[in-house]
Amino acid sequence: MGTRRSALALAQSSAFARDLERATGVRVETVGITTEGDTNSAPLTAMGGTGVFVQAVRAALRSGDIDFAVHSYKDLPTAGPSDVTVAAVPVREDPRDALVTADGRPLSRLPAGARVGTGSPRRAGQLAALRPGLAVVPLRGNVDTRLGRVRDGRLDAVILAAAGLARLGRLGEAAELFAPDRIVPAPAQGALAVECRADDAAVALLLASLDDAVTRAAVDAERAVLVELEAGCSAPIGAHARRVGRVLDLCAVITATDGGRRTFRRAEVPLDPVAAAAAGRELARGLRKEYERGAR
């Protein structure tokens, strides 16, 4: 199994490996891989944003150094290569965004001018729309680095994925978890994509034992929004689908990075992955038209 070397990547991939060993009886060896996103401290937008955490891991997969790779699904480019396949999308962790503050205050109690760190244009725009007057500060780094900026007083708060905190056993440090229709998560946030070579039927069959059909359909709908809008993982676009009875409730948002314009739409989406993706593209087309008209 190949994975990035970060503490979070190792935690989420190790959990998948344990589940795979229990389900299939195979023994999994972990291979840590350093990616461009791990070594380059520049903003993701300056590096192109898409694929910087993925390319080195996929190279190891293609070369045969590893048999499968575990990624944070939101890091994958929307256009997948033909020689690699997503063989499993396990049950998703908490998809919400989390706010961490030094004294446990929620967003509504942060004072005007409070410094909130995030490296995500999506989060920056939605924060600015919710709380005008905050100072959104660009921030990159692992979970410890981001939380450390709050502990040492350089920031009043940081916003990051609840899934990452949960997988590291630190969700209790969150002062607030935002409902997915209040701050709409990144498409596929909290989900894993487990890839293998497209011609490796034996490994694909093993991995498929942990595939979750509902999570896969939800992620396909969310990522279809990005595909239709021709955007990448660093774009100020959020999309989230959750199961409600026999359908998915899909919501999506486009927000100007300064919060000055926010367009939100939601729709019921079929649970079938192909139909869910088609519905996601349809919702995105309507979202784009509204945003271009300046709807709020």
Q: Which residue has the tokens 């942990």?
A: 210
Q: Are 110 and 157 in contact (CB under 8 A)?
A: yes
Q: How far apart are CA 224 and CA 240, in angstroms?
A: 11
Inter-helix orientation angle 143-151/7-24, to 10°? 140
CB atoms within 10 A of CB 2: 22
Contact predicate 163/136, CB 8 Å: no
Query: CA angle 187-193-194, nearest 5°?
Result: 175
Helix axis angle, 273-292 to 213-229, nearest 10°: 30
Single-letter residue type at 38? D
Residue 63 burial by CB count (10 A; 0-12/13-18/19+): exposed, middle or buried?
exposed
Contact present, 16 and 192 (Cβ < 8 Å): yes
Which residues are annotated as catalytic? 75
CA Rg value for the chain: 19
Contact (CB, 8 A) for 167 and 142: no
Strand pairing class (115-118; 157-161) = parallel
In this structure, what token pair is assigned to residue 86? 């997503």
To the nearest 10°, report the CA torsion of 174, 116, 249, 253. Answer: 180
* DSSP 8-state secondary structure symbol assigned to residue 277: H
